[in-house]
Amino acid sequence: MSQDVLISTEGKIGRVRLNRPKAIHALNTGMCQAVLDAITAWRDDPTIEAVLIDHAPSPDGDPKYSRGFCAGGDIRLLAESGAKDGRDARDFFRVEYRMNHALFTCPKPIVAFMDGITMGGGVGISQPARHRVATENTKFAMPETGIGLFPDVGGGWYLSRLPGRIGQYLAVTGHRLDGAECVALGLASHYLPADRLDDAKARIAAEPQAIEAILGELSAPTPDAPILTHRDAIDRLFASDTLEDIIAALEADGGEWAAQQLATIRTKSPQSMKVSLKLLLDGATMPTFEDEMRQEFAVASHVVQRHDFIEGVRALIVDKDNAPRWDPATPEAVSDHLIDQIFAPLPEDEAWTPN
């Protein structure tokens, strides 16, 4: 078993503890496979009544452990693979999405503790949980348009089901939410002070049938959610599923907040923003989560080998010059034909399956 994730049982609960602190517990293929194997084993095990997912505590006070719950996936690996034949990247996505699907369909209650950075793959491993705990440290985002990717791991499903046009706003801009905002939008079910988490975990391990009561008792009043002050503007300015329309609305608004969003959008991959808007448009009416994962795998298989993903990782993660050269460089240059190519289903023998 990889030490990047610690799998154990404690009495009647299964425990998944992400343990890759130098990468803010970002997921690699081995971690996803370990979690998938554990959930598969526990789902039909009558001795396991609930599952807890968090990150491992620091063994020696190392602050790297406390920076976040999960910062995403192993982006460097994906980009290196995408620059070649893309096989390792497809293998990663295949296993990761199977893990996401196994969590989503698990009949046992799952509690995910989103303490700290919860982004990308961290969203994918926490949102399927019945109980999602945010804290004052939570920093939640799907920032993939900034690296030429898109909000995958079920992003098309989860974001398209948020109130109004907030999902489209988050997908396009990569805006970060705090713990209170996660609760207000339904992305978190409970708000606990971080210093109560150990108590919550211990009590749930002792009495897994009382999860809701335990979390309710330990919850604190949720602070105001700043994003709600912009709800009307988000619904109005991000009303269209066409990127050019959103940009035109922001340009015409003339307000400071709209100008800030416009500046943010102009740093993102035009291709990725268009992919994200279509993903949410399709995701809102996707029949099942399995169908969502199948489509996202096809899109990811195509996007990971395209210029913008490799360039985005170079600019933001490898060279860190924060000056990606997107191609196509403008929204107008991203044709409907290109988007159709990216969303084209894979041949049956290459398509994603849940097992």
| Residues annotated as catalytic (active site), given as ranges | 73, 121, 144, 152
Q: Which helix (H) or strand (E) holds 290?
A: helix 289-303
Task: Round to whole Å and give the CA distance between 28 and 96.
Answer: 8
CA neighbor of 222 nearest in space, from 176, 175, 188:
188
Query: 12 burial class (0-12, 13-18, 19+ CB within 10 angstroms)?
Result: middle
Give whole-number Cα distances, 241 to 44, 143, 330, in Å.
41, 18, 17
Beta-bridge mates of residue 8:
15
Residue 179: which of 191, 189, 170 has the closest Cα?
A: 191
**Tokens read off for 145:** 């348009």
DSSP single-letter state for residue 346: P
Residue 46 corresponds to which amino acid?
A: P
Dig out the tokens for 312 from the structure: 């985005």
| C-beta of residue 220 within 8 angstroms of C-beta of residue 197 | no
Cα atoms found within 13 Å of the Cα of residue 331, Cβ hemisphere only: 20
